[in-house]
Structure 1
């Protein structure tokens, strides 16, 4: 955990291998198999479809107490897409289907949130955090590349942003890049093994993911990720 915190403070980004995530969360492989099944119950993302991307998602929001490392659900199922570095994306409220009850209560999810909460409190001394949880599935075909980040290189307007690979199937591409605000590369990696985690200090970096295409053109490609962000509750630092 100290290595994660130090890398976020000094570099602005950190890649944690799947083995490290399992160790930090204390989870067994069977728990990850159960967790991955939630992605089969995502709903079509109509906002991404407007930009030609076949993507599925849900949305959940939690409150994280830094003192107790506990989460509690927030009631809303819509979120405000913040203004970011891409002028095509302006602040707008978007409504998505909420996480299923099984997803929202999954012990592995809450283990991940505790891990990410420790990383967030290493960047900011906020007592309470608003946590936004976005499971995504991007699907690509031979004539229709998948766009994990159709907004391009961007910020999410939070303190900590993270991306956890849950599954990849018949996929090539999907390379994650983190840069400084002026575009200097900090970290580039392809999240290839399920359970691999990428974290970034969203206040000082931009992030984006390259297109996904199928390896076998006769079959579709799939990339499942969990994006989680932490921002101080309104009124805090």
Structure 2
């Protein structure tokens, strides 16, 4: 990590050390990654390839997604795609959808090879290494599209206030189309609200220490019920290896 990057990451490192949550606005992240509007527009297109999540215990058909994993070594900058596998959370972590293997379509090759994604993952890994001291991470990627309409409200976090059973959890805004709502909040274990924000711009990034905080997102509804409406995000979970 060079001196410029170290300095740029300092506010995030401090916030994640105490109290445990940080909002990185899109201009700050774009500067770190060296990307612009054209890069975000190209990245956005991957969300049109997501497929319906058929594992929703609430019966909802509002969530589209894919799933995949990487391993990363920050000491060498090595980032490796892992073989596709089912996703499993314990029911104690996810009482709504946990306790069973969930089989999702894999990430597309175009998505995993996108230079913005690779830069994003390496930058976040460097940040979390600075916070935690761990240099080897397992990374689970969850690109989501939450749709909303007259027939159903979109639920970005249908399990309510929760943690994911990982080390660090992040949520990256990709696009909001014709929706209202979707307010994100981070809480201490005591219940104290540490941070509340509505991710709005492509590149707005919310980061949290999942061991010490919980998070939630309010439902989304269409502004114009006659037009398509969705909220696209990339949730990335880092677990120390």
Fold in common (TM above 0.5) = yes
Aligned residues: 233
* 1:152-167 aligned within 5 A: 152-167=160-175
Equivalent in the alignment of 1:58: 66
Higher strand share: 1
- Residue 11 of structure 1 and its aligned partner are, at CA, apart by 1.7
Equivalent in the alignment of 1:195: 203
Q: Secondary structure at the match of 1:217?
A: coil
Q: Give the TM-score normalised by structure 1.
A: 0.93
Q: Secondary structure at the match of 1:35?
A: helix
- Residue 84 of structure 1 and its aligned partner are, at CA, apart by 4.6
CA offsets per residue over residues 181-223 of structure 1, 9 Å max, x none? 2321010000011110000000000011000001112223210
Asked if structure 1 preserves the Cα contact closer than 8 Å seen for 2:57 and 2:97, the reply is no
Distance in 2 (alpha carbons) for counterparts of 1:70 and 1:57 = 26
CA RMSD of aligned residues (A): 1.5
CA offsets per residue over residues 143-199 of structure 1, 9 Å max, x none? 411000111111111111000000001110000011012321010000011110000
- Residue 83 of structure 1 and its aligned partner are, at CA, apart by 4.3
Asked if structure 1 preserves the Cα contact closer than 8 Å seen for 2:94 and 2:164, the reply is no
Ranges of 4+ aligned residues in structure 1 off by more than 3 Å: 82-91
Equivalent in the alignment of 1:36: 44
Q: Give the TM-score normalised by structure 2.
A: 0.92
Counterpart check, 1:171 vs 2:202: no
Query: Which moved further from structure 2: 78-87 or 194-203?
Result: 78-87
After superposition, the Cα gap between the structure-2 partners of 1:225 and 1:121, relative to the gap in structure 1 and judged at 3 Å, is same
Equivalent in the alignment of 1:128: 136
Equivalent in the alignment of 2:4: none
CA offsets per residue over residues 65-118 of structure 1, 9 Å max, x none? 020222111113322124455544543321110000000110000111012102
For structure 2, the residue ranges without an aligned partner over 5 or more in a row are 1-8
Asked if structure 2 preserves the Cα contact closer than 8 Å seen for 1:86 and 1:152, the reply is no
